[in-house]
Amino acid sequence: MSLRGPPNDRSPAELLTFGVVNLDKPPGPSSHQVSGWIRDAVSDSLERADAGTTIDRAAHAGTLDPKVTGCLPVMLGDATRLAQAFLEGQKEYVSVLECHAPVPADAESVISAFEGPIYQKPPRKSAVSRRLRVRELYDLEVLEATERQVLLRIRCESGTYVRKLCHDIGLALGTGGHMGHLRRTATDPFDDRTLHTAEEFLDALEFWLEDDDPEPLHEIVLPGERILEHIPSVVIAESAAREVAEGAPVYAPGVLEVPDVDRGSLVTCYTPNGAAVCLGTLVGDASSESGTVVELERVLV
């Protein structure tokens, strides 16, 4: 079978079947609706281009409620296999805390005490079991405060419920409180510096189809490998990559480079040209003459 070429040399059709769009989600639609619209637009465009390929799925990274805006990476085609990579990264939000009484003078010190590990139970409407769990708040900053509102910047572990955090901060302040507007400004490895609207994406598809100008599409649709930049990388030979494509683990003789990380770490395996081959767990010593070095979690070719 043929392996993917270098990420920066791919055609529009190749990007659209293994790519990601850092979408600026608008208020109103659900995350599921947004990814469905993107999937249908790409499928229609590939058909119009007579590209000889299509996609039947797209997936978003980290659900945002309908009213919430901001960073919603949408994975296209085979890039949907990379969804678990987003669980390894951090999230950042800007949120308005609506206090039910005037904000006390010591609000900043009370809020700063929430930094670190916190206990949370998912809300009743969540898609996960409602078990008490620990989530890490890496940074919690008061950006601005008015009489009854506090603007917060929150850097946190994936799976943190900001609505519940705002409720708990309101209790700690003694005022009561709830979450007002919420915007996600980052989900590793993406942030709000490279956001694009759905309208910009649809326009880029039309430039490609109608004007034979793929440049806007190349600016908006990033290779699937972009999702994996925050995960340690292992470089393997093309011969080993072909074996992985058939379901074999990565054996020591096929490893060319290995990161200095602990066994049990999640890693991405690449061919020498930078094309992603698989996600896996580092389990062995690459300097050995034999044995498994990486056990497969998700094959990407």
Q: Which residues are catalytic?
A: 65
Contact between residue 96 and residue 181 where contact means Cβ atoms under 8 Å apart:
yes
φ, ψ dihedrals at 271, nearest 5°: -80, 165
DSSP alpha helices (H): ranges in 174-300? 198-211, 215-220, 238-245
Residue 4 C-alpha from the chain's centroid: 22
φ, ψ dihedrals at 49, nearest 5°: -80, -5
Q: Are strands 18-25 and 221-223 parallel, antiparallel or unpaired?
A: antiparallel
Contact between residue 99 and residue 166 where contact means Cβ atoms under 8 Å apart:
no
Amino acid, single-letter form, for residue 53: T
Amino acid, single-letter form, for residue 59: A
Measure the CA–CA gap between 258 and 144, rounded to whole angstroms. Answer: 45
Owner of token pair 């850097």: 155
Burial of 287 (0-12, 13-18, 19+ CB in 10 A): exposed
φ, ψ dihedrals at 153, nearest 5°: -110, 125
Measure the CA–CA gap between 244 and 3, rounded to whole angstroms. Answer: 11
